[in-house]
Structures are given as C-alpha cells and as structure tokens.
Structure 1
Amino acid sequence: MERLADAQPLLEDKSPFLRDLAANFKKGQVFQTALELDVFAKLKTPKSLEAISREIDTDARLTGRFLDVLVALGLLAKNDGAYVTPADLYPFLAAGEPYFSKQLLLSEEEQRNWLNLKELLKQGPFKKEKPDYQYFYDRESMELIARSALLGRLQKILKIVIELPEFRESRRLIDLGGGHGLFGIGLAQENQDLEVVIFDRPGIVELSSEFIKKYGMEKRIKTIAGDYITDELGTGYDLALEISSFEGNLDQARQFFQNVEKALRPGGLFIIQTFAIEANRTGPLLPLLHDLYKKMEGRNMYMMDRAEIIGILEDTGFEEETVIVFPKEMSSQLIIARKKREKLENS
C-alpha cells in the first residue's frame, strides 16, 4: 500500500478559494450591519465591549464576537480589550465625515434585490418600466465626489493630459458631464490660454459654478446646461473630456460620440475615462457587478468593452491614439482618440 505521507494530491485543493467566496456574503452582512449601527463613528475613541454594547443597545456576548470579526476584517483595531476605528479609515467609515459615501450603505431595496437574485434569474428583471440610468447629484454628493477625486485620481489624469503635445497649443476645452468641474479647472490652471466649458445637466452646473468661483476661474470657465447626448455642444473645441459620466447603451454611445465629433475641430482630441470590461465580459469584477445589478433593475444600459468603444469611436469619425490602463484599484482606463482630419477636410 502507498504510504499516505508520500501520496501525491490528485488535484489542487480549491476548497479554500470557494469557502472564502461563500464567506464574502457573511463579511458583507457584518460590514452593512456595522454601518447601520453607526459603529465606526461611535468608536472614534477606544471603548470597551461593555461600553459600546450599551451605546448601540445590543447583546454584549454576541457583540463581542461581532466586533472581533470587524477587527479581523481590518475595519476596527483592538488594544487592551478596547475597540477603536483606525484613524486612516475613520474619514471613510463614519457618517458625516468628509469621505463617507452613502453608497457604502446598501438601501433596503438593493439588499432585497441581491437576496432575490435567484428569482430574478428565473423570472427576468423587473417588469415595471425604469428610466434610463442617470445620476442625480445633490450638493453633498458632489462635494464628496470632488474631495475623493483629489485623493489621487484627478491628479493622475491631469498630469497625463498636461503632458500631451497638443495640450499647450489648445485654446478651447469642453468637460462633458464635468460635475464639480475640477478637471476643467485644473487644466485651465496649467494653460493660461485655455478657455473651458463645463457641460452638465441642469441643477448640476449650478454646483459647478460654485467650484469655478472657489478657484477664481469665472473669467475663463463657463457652464452650459443640457444633455450631451442630444443637445448641441458648440463647435471648434481642441479638447473634449469625459470622465466616468456616461452610462448608456450602444445606440446612446454612438449618438454621444457623434455629438462630440461635431464639436471638435479636425484633429482635436477626445479623452475618455471609462470602466470598460474585458472583451470576454468576465472582468473586472466591480464593473461587472454594477452591470449585473442594473440589468436586475431593468435599466437600459450596456457596459462596453474596450473594442466596442474603439469601434464606435472609429465609426463616428475618430481614430485611436492611445489607451492607458490604470492600476487595479482605479478599475478603469483612459482612452485618447483623435478626430480624423480627413473627414471634415474632404467633406
């Protein structure tokens, strides 16, 4: 008989991977419950198990296990029996803090929808009509997005654009879906001859104007309210910028790109940051989860892969210049396309 100590495994053990995957649901439930109980805000300073249990009105013995799981997840620290929210995480986890996102806390509808995934897969998405997906921002949300962009994403994109040979010669830029306007503002700071238009929906451009005023750019940056898919954008722009604001279907993407092509001068650049998925539609994970959920809701949107984006750009009068894939944590890429000079020169 073969000695068991020398037995060769028949295949690689995948059980740890699968157990961890199944545990993700449990981890998420623990995290959501901590957010609902406002545990992280209440533990800004160290507190004993007994103290925090009294404050959130929970069973002390069960709460101890709950808090220890949060420590294991890296969401709390534990020292000498006292629990505390780590200082570097507190601004992101405590409601009311500058980087806390309400999107972390799933609504009751979102939780219910995910729990009903099996039924939705069998029956299809909701039958009731849903409008095409679009963001609705209030002042609090826009200020959070602006603060979060300044944690590195904005600076990274600005530096890429600033280093483009065409940037110094550019005189007009349109920031599509510009929201807070910080991308347009930052580029205007780097090119004193650049005039910028922040284009976004009514109700949002009023917030854009406040950021423009804050940075003292009223003379060189203006706002236009409208729908960049259907409304005229103006003409003669050297640069068009769209940073993660578009979420529509393929027909809307084609219409949008055609609209931008009309607005750019021949040879002008269209710069897009997008959360495109892989060609085989199996990654990255976060965009796929977002896409799945919107389909569950019955939304009329489509997450494009890079080839589809490039294909529509080429069909609407652009040629690809370069694609920059960002690190995994940014989960996106920057596509730079040039409006074909021949199209307008020969028309």
Structure 2
Amino acid sequence: MNNISNLNLKKNVSEIEFPTEISMLDSIMDGYKYYQMISAALKLGILEKMAEIGPASPSEIAEAASVNGMFVRSILSALEDIGLVKSDDASYMITEQAETFLCQESPFYQGDLILDVGRDGSPWNDLTTVLERRGPPKTIQKDVDELQIRSLAQQCIRGEVQNVLNGILSRPEFSEHEKLLDIGGSHGLYSVGLCQENAALSSTIIEQDQVVPLTSSFVSEYGMDDRIKVQEGSIETMTNDLSPEVYDIVLISHTLYRYRREMSETLEKVTKTLSPGGTLVLNHRFCSPQCDIKPGDGIREIDRALTSFGHPLCHPEGLKDVLENKGFTNVSLIPHETALGYAVLCIGTKGSNMDKTSDTENIPVSHNFPDGEDKCC
C-alpha cells in the first residue's frame, strides 16, 4: 500500500520503489504470449517443417515454413526456452516432446486442443460473458466445427476413453452384445474402440444436426463406416416412437448435466431403449470427493464447470440409487481421472422385469440455489 500511496501523493518518480513481486504478473503475461506463439507455430506449420527437414539454420527454417526472417531467430529461441526446440552452434531442431505432442502424424497429437482454447467462440475467449450470467450458462460458442471435435478427441485420448472402454470390457456380458447406442459421442472414439474389441458389435451415434457430418468423417478415418452410423437425435427425441429401437448397450457420456434436475425421468426414457440384460453406461464428471479443490487445480475446475453446463454432478451414489430403484443390477461406480479431473463411470445391467415405471422419487445428483443455479456441496 505504501507504493500506491506514493503514487497517489505524486511524489518524485525517482523515489518510487516498485515491488519486486511484479514478476508474478509478468509470468502470467508471458504465459499468454507463449500460448500465442505456440498457436502461431501450429497454424504456420513451423514444427512440422522442422521435423521434416531436420537440423537447419534459422534462415533455412524461415524459408521452409514461409516465416518472416526478421522474427525467426527470436521465435526459435522462445520455443527453445519451453523445450520444444533445441540447438547446437549452427542449427535448430525439434525436440522429441514437440514431435510427440505437436506433430499431426503422432497418435498423441494435441495441437487442435491447444488451438481450440483460443478460437472465436471459446468460453475461455469470452469468460467475462460467462461469468456475468445468472443461472445455468448458455452456450456462447458458434456452430460446432471440426476443430472442436478433434480437440475433444485429443482431450479424451489422454486416458478417459481407455478408462471407459476398460470398464465396459470388464463386464462378462460385453462379448454377447451386438447393438450399441452412443449418445453424445461426438468424436466417435467410444464406438470405434468398442467395435474394435467386439467384431459382432455395431453402433449408432446420435448427435446434434451440425455435428453429424463431423463425427461421420472421424469414424471414416478409422474405417468403421460399415459398422458405425451417425444420425441426428437426442435423449428427448430418441424415445418419441411407440416402439423405439432396442440396444444391448446404451452409453451416455457428458450429456446428463443438462438433465440434472430431472435425472430419474431422463433415465426412464433411456431405459426404454435398452434390452433386458443390456448394459447402461454413464460417464460424467463429478465434484471431487468432499468437494475439495486441490491447490493448483483452480483453472481445471473452471474448465470442468464450462464443460458441464455450469457445474459437474455432485453425488454419484445418488445416480446409483436411481438405477437400483429402477431395477438395475450389478451397478458399479468406477472413479477415474480425465484430462479435466475427477469423473465417475456408472455401469449397470437392466433387469428382466422393468417395463413398469418405478414410483421412486427424483433422487438428486446436484444441489441448487433457489434461483436455479447449481452450487457445490
């Protein structure tokens, strides 16, 4: 406060002692600048070209990547500072880390995930608008595009898809299943992975209208067009028919957040599309146990809220109760970590006598403020 007082009193500039703690703000601004630099490097293909041509001088790299030569040495130096480039006396080359995560030929490529954070319409690009709203946040993004679908896939492949697939594969009945309904499976990886593990399995993915061609394209890259179809639909529309199509597995991933206040009724609809003895799989983010936010996890918690309609679900045991009260058996709750933190996989088997709607109350899986907003435990 003394330094602020000095400024307010307009003392001699030469007497102002600026706090050394300003380095904290410099680090924050540097982080933003590094992000912009990596984004530019991805868009210009600088790292891809460096991987292609091998060790090269700054001028050779500038020529290969069509980069302004006045900036190339500074860019290479900055990329070296964060471990994406290395150099010797005469040349620069891409590091193994950069080649693993930032070159498109790598199965671990994360470039679209990086670019998606800063795209037009990203909630991170207009966080002020999100924070000013009251009640469940409305989407501020533009129509879904290929970048978003690929970024979702790159985020999920960090372990989440593998955890979900392994949870399903552990069920002994999986090998007998033949028809899968994948609700909200925009990147298609759940359906692709399960069909790879069961040669008799075919899948239907239902998604928003504008997402359908993007998901179809992604499925085609895995050569699964003959076994996986993508069509427009939602939980609201899929049970409109008097005799809905019946499936052996229904998988719902990161879709139930918007139905948190009518979870029982929503799952009642879903159950109608599942055959007796079929497997229901629910994969969603929940508040961490005891709703603890560990130091250093604040940004990730905001990410979880932004991708969960304002708030993750709160009580996985409540979800289990809903299913058991509806007659599901062998209901398992499997906690697992995702790129955005704590999630729970809920898997149950549909009982043989579940045609009659149960009279159970709507067991909550979240708390609400009176004005409709969600709150943490």
TM-score where L is the length of structure 1: 0.66
> Does the 8 Å CA contact 2:160/2:339 hold for their aligned counterparts?
no
2:246 aligned residue: 236
1:29 aligned residue: 32
> How do 1:124-163 residues align onto structure 2 when only pairs under 5 Å count?
125-126=132-133, 131-132=138-139, 136-139=143-146, 141-142=148-149, 154-163=161-170
Task: Tell me the distance in 2 between the aligned counterparts of 1:280 and 1:135.
Answer: 32
Task: Tell me the distance in 2 between the aligned counterparts of 1:94 and 1:220.
Answer: 30
2:84 aligned residue: 75
Deviations 1:141-183 (A, max 9, x none): 4456557766765455434322311212323321111234342
> Does the 8 Å CA contact 1:249/1:302 hold for their aligned counterparts?
no
2:8 aligned residue: none
- The range that moved more, 166-175 or 182-191, is 182-191
Deviations 1:222-257 (A, max 9, x none): 443212245428353332112345553622655543
Relative distance call for 1:33 and 1:231 in structure 2 (3 A) is same
- The range that moved more, 193-202 or 278-287, is 278-287
Aligned-pair CA distance for 1:335: 1.1
Task: Tell me the distance in 2 between the aligned counterparts of 1:210 and 1:57.
Answer: 38
> Does the 8 Å CA contact 2:118/2:125 hold for their aligned counterparts?
no
> Does the 8 Å CA contact 2:259/2:266 hold for their aligned counterparts?
no
Task: Tell me the distance in 1 between the aligned counterparts of 2:353 and 2:264.
Answer: 17
1:42 aligned residue: 46
> Does the 8 Å CA contact 2:304/2:311 hold for their aligned counterparts?
yes
| Structure 2 residue matching 1:71: 3-state secondary structure | helix
Task: Tell me the distance in 2 between the aligned counterparts of 1:75 and 1:252.
Answer: 48
1:12 aligned residue: none
Task: Tell me the distance in 1 between the aligned counterparts of 2:356 and 2:219.
Answer: 39
Confirm whether residue 341 of structure 1 aligns to residue 354 of structure 2: no
2:284 aligned residue: 274
- Match for residue 314 of structure 1 among 318, 321, 334: 321
| Structure 2 residue matching 1:265: 3-state secondary structure | strand
- Percent of aligned positions with the same letter in both sequences? 20
| Structure 2 residue matching 1:344: 3-state secondary structure | coil
Letter in 1 for 2:194: L
Q: How many residues align?
A: 315
| Structure 1 residue matching 2:283: 3-state secondary structure | strand
2:302 aligned residue: 289
Deviations 1:7-33 (A, max 9, x none): xxxxxxxxxxx9997676245223223
Aligned-pair CA distance for 1:78: 3.1
Confirm whether residue 226 of structure 1 aligns to residue 237 of structure 2: no
> Does the 8 Å CA contact 2:183/2:206 hold for their aligned counterparts?
yes
Task: Tell me the distance in 1 between the aligned counterparts of 2:96 and 2:113.
Answer: 19
Relative distance call for 1:319 and 1:67 in structure 2 (3 A) is farther
> Does the 8 Å CA contact 2:144/2:211 hold for their aligned counterparts?
yes
Letter in 2 for 1:238: D
Task: Tell me the distance in 2 between the aligned counterparts of 1:20 and 1:319.
Answer: 57
Considering only aligned residues, what root-mean-square deviation do their CA atoms show, in Å?
A: 4.7
Task: Tell me the distance in 1 between the aligned counterparts of 2:257 and 2:99.
Answer: 31
> Does the 8 Å CA contact 1:199/1:225 hold for their aligned counterparts?
yes
Task: Tell me the distance in 2 between the aligned counterparts of 1:213 and 1:142.
Answer: 14
Relative distance call for 1:286 and 1:259 in structure 2 (3 A) is farther
Relative distance call for 1:220 and 1:265 in structure 2 (3 A) is same
Task: Tell me the distance in 1 between the aligned counterparts of 2:172 and 2:23.
Answer: 48
- Listed as ranges, the gaps of 5+ residues in structure 2 are 1-20, 358-377
Task: Tell me the distance in 1 between the aligned counterparts of 2:292 and 2:132.
Answer: 20
- Match for residue 111 of structure 2 among 93, 100, 103: 100
Deviations 1:298-347 (A, max 9, x none): x9532223x2x441452363567333333575735451332563872666
Task: Tell me the distance in 2 between the aligned counterparts of 1:290 and 1:330.
Answer: 7
| Structure 1 residue matching 2:354: 3-state secondary structure | helix
Confirm whether residue 89 of structure 1 aligns to residue 89 of structure 2: no
TM-score where L is the length of structure 2: 0.62
Aligned-pair CA distance for 1:198: 1.6
Deviations 1:18-69 (A, max 9, x none): 9997676245223223135427833525555688799446679xx75x7555
Relative distance call for 1:146 and 1:292 in structure 2 (3 A) is closer
> Does the 8 Å CA contact 1:41/1:90 hold for their aligned counterparts?
no
